[in-house]
A and B are shown apart, each in its own frame.
Chain A
Amino acid sequence: MDITQMEQITPIQLYELMLKNHNVLMLDVRNEDEYEAWKIEGKFTPDTVNIPYFEFFENEDEAFSRVERDRPIVVVCAKGGASDFVALRLGEEGIKAANLSEGMIGWGNLYIHRVIVQTPEFEIYQIDRTARGCLSYVLISDGKAAIIDPLRHTEKYTDFLELKEASLALILDTHGHADHISGAPALSELTGAPYYLHPYDGIHPFDLLPAKLVYRMLHDGMKFSLGDLLIETVHVPGHTLGQVNFLVKAPSGRSFVFTGDNLFIQSFGRPDLGGQGQSWAPLVYNTIFNTVVERIPSDALVLPGHFAKHDEANEDGTYSKPLSALWKENEDLSRLNEKETFINFVLAHLPDMPEQYIQIKRINAGLAAPDEDEASELELGKNICALSTAYE
């Protein structure tokens, strides 16, 4: 793709551009604080300059002097309007610039589907809302599908299942999410497929109110079959009290573990998003160094609920790693494997708790119903569910 010939660039085109090394300059024309709060990142993040759009008519000469003329330029704003305006102004000055259509909103709503495994017996796909670092999964076997941790835009899943000619049999949340609005209740209502959540996450941890949701209750050891696949629930409280891992076994003996916000490729889920960091931090230690060690096969492929940084991805773009490799390559696991060290470190390095996480938890418990604007605003920015977001 030659972006010097493009007037508009779509979110997926920008994503593909950033997969390879490039010489693009990103011109972000939002306000400084909006820019600081949430920037576009990719495997190869462009050099970026932040010049609010009104500087291009209020302080024109200086604004233009800050734009390098010899590189391809992509202009970005919140919704794509102001950036289009600036791209046209640049064009008038003889500077070629492409506008990111739909802006940060469109970028935030981009979902990437990746193949984890495709065999005649079963398929597993990783569905990545890449701007937010949120990962969800579709499992298919014998024409039946399960979705793990579906995100808010349910059509991203229903369209995909239609393409795969699979019918939705099971909707699973690894836990009650704080950073994003779950698509599970809406998918369940839409398709009639049952929604499973651990009941401990059916209580809002701050309001101490029971969820107003139609869901079925998970428990430790609970098993499901999906075609040739066997799914086992492993309760790993700590990030939330109802956090579970789903261990999935194929007839060939291959196994996969969907860890939600328990284990990530780098770091692990912070214990304080329910307001109880002190008492939940030891639980996180126990689940990782006891429950996971004892119950998850070391050759199981770990498939997490988030990534914090793009360099956690494999060469093929997927976020996954065998558990045996994770013990060595996940730096927080290898250096914090002693309980007291672990707890002290965790409590000394808790990231900020975004205020909107409490409201998102209300929505996920059915205690509040946002309109599209509120939902979109609550979900601005990257997740900060991993402990390491505090120090990296």
Chain B
Amino acid sequence: MTDIAFDEQFDARGLMCPMPLVKSRQAIMKMEVGKTLKIVATDKGSVKDFQGWAKMAKDVELLAQEEEMEGDKKLFVHFVKKIK
């Protein structure tokens, strides 16, 4: 389990590509610079998508990505910080 600090959380469980990223981006745009959003997704494709997105977007930084189990379901957790 993680000890990364976060300020807000977005539940993207059940959302399919491209929605985990689209909705997370909307959430992060409303946040203040320096704050971190934790996103919990069930879509495996979100792992690479957050990497690709964070690499090109100028105002966010991908702090970490983790996998967790919830029952027999795998969760993909992303920590995104607003830096600009």
Contact = CB atoms under 8 A, between A and B. Distances in A.
Interface string A196-231: 000000000000000000000000000000000000
A81 B16 contact: yes
A138 interface: no
Interface in B31-81: 44-45, 48-49, 51-53, 56-57
A42 interface: no
Interface string A11-35: 0000000000000000000011110
Contacts of A77: 17
Max chain A C-beta neighbours (<10 A), residue from B17, B19, B25, B49: B17
A52 B48 CA distance: 11
A78 interface: yes
A79 interface: yes
B60 to A, nearest CB: 9
A85 interface: yes
Contact of A79 (B17, B21, B56): B17
Interface string A149-181: 000000000000000000000000000000000
Nearest to A79: B17
A54 B52 contact: yes
B17 A81 contact: yes
A39 to B, nearest CB: 17
A160 B53 CA distance: 44
A54 B49 contact: yes
Contact of A82 (B18, B25, B44): B18
A268 B3 CA distance: 53
B25 A57 contact: yes
A78 B16 CA distance: 11
A5 interface: no
B48 A31 contact: yes
A52 to B, nearest CB: 5
Nearest to A54: B53
Given A31-B49, A34-B48, A78-B45, A58 B17 contact: no
A32 B18 contact: no
Given A31-B49, A57-B25, A78-B45, A52 B18 contact: no
A53 interface: yes
B52 A58 contact: no
A57 B21 CA distance: 11
Max chain B C-beta neighbours (<10 A), residue from A54, A59, A81: A54
A54 B21 contact: yes
Contacts of B17: 77-79, 81-82
Contacts of A58: 25, 53, 56-57
A55 interface: yes
Contacts of B22: 57, 85
A59 B56 contact: yes
B45 A53 contact: no
Given A31-B49, A32-B52, A53 B57 contact: no
Contact of A55 (B19, B48, B51, B56): B56
Contacts of B48: 31, 33-34
Contacts of B52: 31-32, 52, 54
Nearest to B45: A78
A227 to B, nearest CB: 47
Given A78-B17, A79-B16, A81-B17, A54 B57 contact: yes
B46 to A, nearest CB: 11
Given A53-B18, A57-B25, A79 B53 contact: no
Contacts of A52: 49, 52-53, 56
A79 B45 contact: yes
Contacts of A81: 16-19
Nearest to A56: B18
B62 to A, nearest CB: 12
21 contacts: A31-B51, A32-B52, A33-B48, A52-B52, A52-B56, A54-B18, A54-B21, A54-B25, A54-B49, A54-B53, A54-B56, A54-B57, A57-B25, A58-B53, A59-B56, A77-B17, A78-B17, A78-B45, A79-B16, A79-B17, A79-B45
Interface of B: 16-19, 21-22, 25, 44-45, 48-49, 51-53, 56-57
Given A58-B25, A81-B18, 7 more contacts: A52-B52, A54-B57, A55-B56, A58-B53, A78-B17, A79-B17, A79-B45
